[in-house]
Amino acid sequence: MEPTAQISADHLTGRLRDLYDLLAAAAEAGLPCPSNTDLMDKGIVVGDHTRCTEALQRLSKMGLIKIEAGVNWRRVTVLATGKATAKSNGSRQGRVRRMAPSALGGATVNIRPAKRTCLRCRRKFESQGPHNQMCGPCRNAASEIAA
């Protein structure tokens, strides 16, 4: 039987190494598996939840860890030591940071305020969008007239 092509963790570099070390430390201490949000907060995975999953699966494919996951939890066993993390509690994973504008790159361009000419007084002002055709003072005046 062929020996399994196991890669030693010593050959890991960069963020994958950091990820492995973090998992190994959590397993050693019996702590919950770090959540995707934890990984992104620590800068170990850059991107989104998909990237976190990919990074874990890379370690798994290298034969370094075993991943068990359910609907709202994840547990990683470090095969070198046989130690496993506790189940992560995924209930609060990454709802907040996921759509941070900085992560979206150029996608924020569409919602940038534009310079428009006020329909009423003809002055330039920062419009919040196509619905916004009058400058602040004119809108206030208009709503007072309407009221």
CA distance 76 to 66: 6
- Chain-centroid distance of CA 98 in Å reads 4
Q: Does 55 bind Zn ion (CB under 5 A)?
A: no
135 lines the binding site for Zn ion (CB under 5 A): yes
Cβ distance to Zn ion smaller for residue 11 or 123: 123
Does residue 87 interact with Zn ion by CB under 5 A? no
Note whether 139 binds Zn ion by CB under 5 A: no
CB 144, min distance to Zn ion, A:
14
Q: Whole-angstrom Cα distance, residue 71 to residue 87?
A: 11
Tokens of 135: 């400058």
Using CB under 5 A, which of 29, 121, 128, 140 touches Zn ion? 121
The answer to whether 23 and 34 are in contact (CB under 8 A) is yes
Dihedral sign (CA 86, 91, 92, 98): positive
Query: 89-118: which residues touch Zn ion (CB under 5 A)?
Result: 118
SS3 127: strand
- Of 25-33, 40-48, 74-82, 128-136, the window that binds Zn ion (rule: CB under 5 A) is 128-136
By CB under 5 A, name the binding residues for Zn ion.
118, 120-121, 135, 138
